[in-house]
Amino acid sequence: MAKTKTAEPRRNTGKAERALGHRLKRLRTESQKPPIGPHAGEAGPTRHSVALDCGWGRLLFSQTYPDNPSIIDALSHEGDKRRDIAFYVRDPHVLLSLAPQETFLDPSHTYRLDLSTYRASRRKPKSFFIRRLASQVDADAVNTIYAARNMVTVSPDFFWANRDSRSITYIVAEDETTGDVIGTVTGVDHQRLFGDPERGSSLWCLAVDPQCRHPGVGEMLVRRLAEHFQARGAAFMDLSVMHDNEQAIALYEKLGFRRVPIFAVKRKNPINERLFAGPIQGYDELNPYARIIVDEARRRGIQVEVTDAAGGFFSLAYGGRSVHCRESLSEMTSGVAVSICDDKAVTRRVVERAGLKVPDQIAVESDGDEAIAAFLARHGSIVVKPARGEQGRGVSVGLETPEDTRAAIRTALEVCDRVLLEACFQGEDLRLVVIDYKLVAAAIRRPPCVIGDGEHDLRTLIERQSRRRAAATGGESTIPVDADTGRCLAGQGLSLDTVLEAGREIVVRKTANLHTGGSIHDVTGIVHPRLVDAACAAARAIKIPVVGIDFMVRRATEPDYVFIEANERPGLANHEPQPTAQRFIDLLFPHSRPIPASQSPSGRPEQSP
pLDDT of residue 2: 36
- The DSSP line for 341-395 is HHSHHHHHHHHHHTT-----EEEESSTT-THHHHHHHHHSSEEEEESS--TTTT-
Report whether 50 contacts 193 (CB < 8 A): yes
Centre a 10 Å sphere on the Cβ of residue 22 and count the other Cβ atoms it contains: 10
7: Cβ–Cβ under 8 A, 6 or more apart, which residues?
A: none
Mean pLDDT value across the chain: 86
CA-based end-to-end distance of the chain: 99
Render the burial of 154-193: b for 16+ CB within 10 Å, e for the rest: bebeebbebbebebbbbbbbbbeeeebbbbbbbbbbbbbb
CATH of 112-252, one of 3.40.630.30, 3.40.190.10, 3.40.50.720, 3.20.80.10: 3.40.630.30
pLDDT of residue 45: 52
Sheet containing strand 51-53, edge to edge, reads: 51-53, 58-61, 85-89, 263-267, 103-105
In whole angstroms, what is the distance from residue 13 CA to residue 166 CA? 46
Greatest mean pLDDT among 40-44, 110-114, 464-468: 110-114
In whole angstroms, what is the distance from residue 271 CA to residue 427 CA? 40
Answer whether residue 15 shows pLDDT above 50: no
Please state the rounded mean pLDDT for residues 573-602.
76
Band (pLDDT 50/70/90 cuts) for residue 170 is very high
Answer whether residue 43 shows pLDDT above 90: no
Centre a 10 Å sphere on the Cβ of residue 415 and count the other Cβ atoms it contains: 16
Condensed to tens digits (0 to 9), the pLDDT of residues 536-579 reads 999 999 999 999 999 999 999 999 999 999 999 999 988 877 89
The lowest-confidence range among 433-447, 516-530, 592-606 is 592-606
In whole angstroms, what is the distance from residue 547 CA to residue 542 CA? 9
Condensed to tens digits (0 to 9), the pLDDT of residues 498-532 reads 998 888 888 888 777 777 888 888 999 999 999 99
Please state the rounded mean pLDDT for residues 268-280.
81
Q: Could you give the residue range(s) of every CATH 3.40.630.30 domain in the chain?
A: 112-252
Q: How far is CA 109 from the centre of its chain?
A: 22
Answer whether residue 595 shows pLDDT above 50: no
Bigger pLDDT: 301 or 194?
194
pLDDT of residue 412: 87
pLDDT of residue 594: 64
Answer whether residue 322 shows pLDDT above 80: yes
Band (pLDDT 50/70/90 cuts) for residue 605 is very low
Band (pLDDT 50/70/90 cuts) for residue 12 is very low
186: Cβ–Cβ under 8 A, 6 or more apart, which residues?
A: 54, 168, 169, 170, 171, 203, 204, 205
Sheet containing strand 303-308, edge to edge, reads: 303-308, 313-318, 321-326, 329-330
Superfamily holding 279-359+425-447+510-609 = ATP-grasp fold, B domain (3.30.470.20)
Render the burial of 347-386: b for 16+ CB within 10 Å, e for the rest: bbebbeeeebeebebbebeebebeebeebbeebeebbbbb
pLDDT of residue 150: 81
Report whether 272 contacts 83 (CB < 8 A): yes
The lowest-confidence range among 25-34, 157-166, 385-394, 443-452 is 25-34
Q: Could you give the residue range(s) of every CATH 3.30.470.20 domain in the chain?
A: 279-359+425-447+510-609
Answer whether residue 466 shows pLDDT above 60: yes
Phi, psi of 298 (to 5 degrees): -65, -35
Answer whether residue 1 shows pLDDT above 60: no
Of residues 195, 191, 194, the one with CA closest to residue 237: 191
84: Cβ–Cβ under 8 A, 6 or more apart, which residues?
A: 51, 57, 58, 59, 60, 74, 75, 78, 266, 267
Answer whether residue 193 shows pLDDT above 90: yes
Q: What angle do CA 277, 281, 284 make, to 5 degrees?
A: 85
Report whether 229 contacts 187 (CB < 8 A): yes
Please state the rounded mean pLDDT for residues 420-435.
91
- pLDDT-above-70 percentage for the chain: 89
Burial class of residue 240, CB neighbours in 10 A (0-12, 13-18, 19+): middle
Band (pLDDT 50/70/90 cuts) for residue 9 is very low
Answer whether residue 464 shows pLDDT above 70: yes
Please state the rounded mean pLDDT for residues 190-208.
95
Band (pLDDT 50/70/90 cuts) for residue 290 is very high
Condensed to tens digits (0 to 9), the pLDDT of residues 91-141 reads 999 999 999 989 999 999 999 999 999 998 888 887 899 999 999 899 999
Please state the rounded mean pLDDT for residues 162-177.
91
Please state the rounded mean pLDDT for residues 486-501.
88
CA 251, 215, 577, 449 dihedral sign is negative
The lowest-confidence range among 3-12, 52-61, 91-100 is 3-12
Please state the rounded mean pLDDT for residues 12-26.
44
pLDDT of residue 327: 96
Please state the rounded mean pLDDT for residues 572-594.
89
Q: Strands, DSSP E only, in 68-145?
A: 85-89, 103-105, 108-114, 128-132
Burial class of residue 527, CB neighbours in 10 A (0-12, 13-18, 19+): buried
Bigger pLDDT: 397 or 216?
216
Q: In the chain, what's the furthest Cα-to-Cα distance?
A: 131
- The DSSP line for 486-498 is HHHHHTTT--TT-
Condensed to tens digits (0 to 9), the pLDDT of residues 218-272 reads 999 999 999 999 999 999 999 999 999 998 999 999 999 999 999 999 999 878 8
